[in-house]
Amino acid sequence: MKNIAIIGSGSWGVALAIHLAKNGHKIKIWSYEKEEADLINNQRKCKFLPNVEIPDNIECKLDYEEVIKGADLILQVTPSKFTRNIVRQYAKYVDVKKQPIIVCSKGIEKETTLTLDEVILQEIPNARIGALSGPSHAEEVSIAVPTLLVIASEDEKVKNLVQDVFMNEYMRLYTSNDVKGVELGGALKNIIAFCSGVAAGIGFGDNTFAALITRGLVEIRKLGIALGGKEETFYGLSGLGDLIVTCLSEHSRNRKAGKLIGQGKTIEETKKEVGMTIESIDNIEVAKELSDKLNLEMPILNSVYDILYNNLDPKEAVKSLMTRKRKQED
C-alpha cells in the first residue's frame, strides 16, 4: 500500500484516485473548491462522474501540505494553464528525493510553450519527473474498463513505482524514456480531436474522421520530432492511441468543443456549454506559434486556427484543405 497525493479534483484526477484506491492505496486529493471537497468527502460523489461511488480510502483536502506530507507519489492533474502557479504553491512541501511527480495532464504552457514537465522542473529543480499518458477517458477508467497507458521517465525507479501502483487486471502500463514525446503526443492530439469534432458538427462522417486521424498524425509527428520527441513515440499509446480515442469518442471534451464550433457556436458559447477546461483551444495557439517559428507545413493546424481566430467558415476550411496542391503521401 502506498500513500498517493493527487493534485486536482477534476474528472481525470478523481478517476485516477478511484482506480488507485481500488488497488488498495491510500489517496489524498487536493482541490481548490470546498464544495467539491465536501461532495467527495461527505457524499462520496464527484460532479464530473455523477454515477460513480467514491471509495472510502479517498480523502479530499484544501491544504497542499496535508495532501503531500507522507506521500510516496504525487500526481499533477490540473489544467496546463494553472500548473505553474499550483506547483509554485506546493513546491516547498515536496521532498524531491522521496516524492516523484507524475504529469497526468495533457497540454503545453501557453506563455512559454514549455511542456508541463519543464514547467515543474523550473519550479522544483531536481524533481524526479514522469509523464503518464495514453488513450483513456475518466468515465471509463473510473468503472474499470480495460485501459493501456504509458509512463515515461528517465528515472527507472520512477517508472517501476508507477507501474507497481497502477497495474492490475484492467490497467496495463508500458514504459518509455521519451518524456518529451509522450507529453507532446498527449497535448497535440487534442488539436486533431477538436478538428474531428468540427467535422462532426458540419455533418461529415467516418471517411473524414479517418482522414483527420491519419493526416493529423503526420502533423503531430512533424512538430513533435522538431521539438525533441522520438518518432516512434507518436505511433504508440500516447500518440496514435490517444489520437484515435479522442477523435472518435463522445466522451472527449475536445471533440465536443469542436462539434459545437462546427455547428456555429462561438468560442465563449462553446466553453460555457462544455463546462470543463478545453485544452485544445490553448494548444492550437501554442502549436501555431511553434510551427510558424519552425517553418513547418501544418495545413490542418493552420485551418483550425483560422476557424477559431480569423472567422474562417469551417466548410470553407475543408474545401481549402481538399483542393490543396497535389503531393506524395508522407
Confidence of residue 24 (pLDDT cuts 50, 70, 90): very high
Task: Give the pLDDT band of residue 271 (cuts 50, 70, 90).
Answer: confident
Burial class (CB in 10 A: 0-12, 13-18, 19+), 328: exposed
Which candidate in 61, 189, 222, 288 is catalytic? 189
Would you say 84 and 5 are in contact if contact means Cβ atoms under 8 Å apart?
no
pLDDT beyond 80 at 50? yes
Respond yes or no: is residue 327 known to be catalytic.
no
Tell me, which fold does domain 3-177 have in CATH? Rossmann fold (3.40.50)
Partner residues linked to 171 by β-bridges:
147, 168
Q: Which of 87-96, 140-149, 193-202, 261-270 has the lowest mean pLDDT?
A: 261-270
Q: What is the pLDDT of residue 272?
A: 86
Q: Which helix (H) or strand (E) holds 276?
A: none
- Residue 279 is predicted with a pLDDT of 81
Counts of helices then strands in the chain (DSSP H, E): 15, 8
Determine whether 317 is exposed, middle or buried from the number of CB atoms within 10 Å of its CB (0-12, 13-18, 19+). Answer: buried
Q: With 90 as the cut, is the pLDDT of residue 276 above it? A: no
In contact, 321 and 215? CB cutoff 8 Å: no
Q: Where are the domains of the chain?
A: 3-177, 180-322
pLDDT at position 273 over 90: no
* CATH 1.10.1040.10, domain 180-322, yes or no: yes
pTM for the structure as a whole: 0.94
Q: Let me know: does 183 contact 103? Beta carbons within 8 Å.
A: yes
Q: What is the pLDDT of residues 85-99, one digit of tens each?
A: 999 999 999 999 999
pLDDT in tens, 134-189: 999 999 999 999 999 999 999 999 999 999 999 999 999 999 999 999 999 999 99
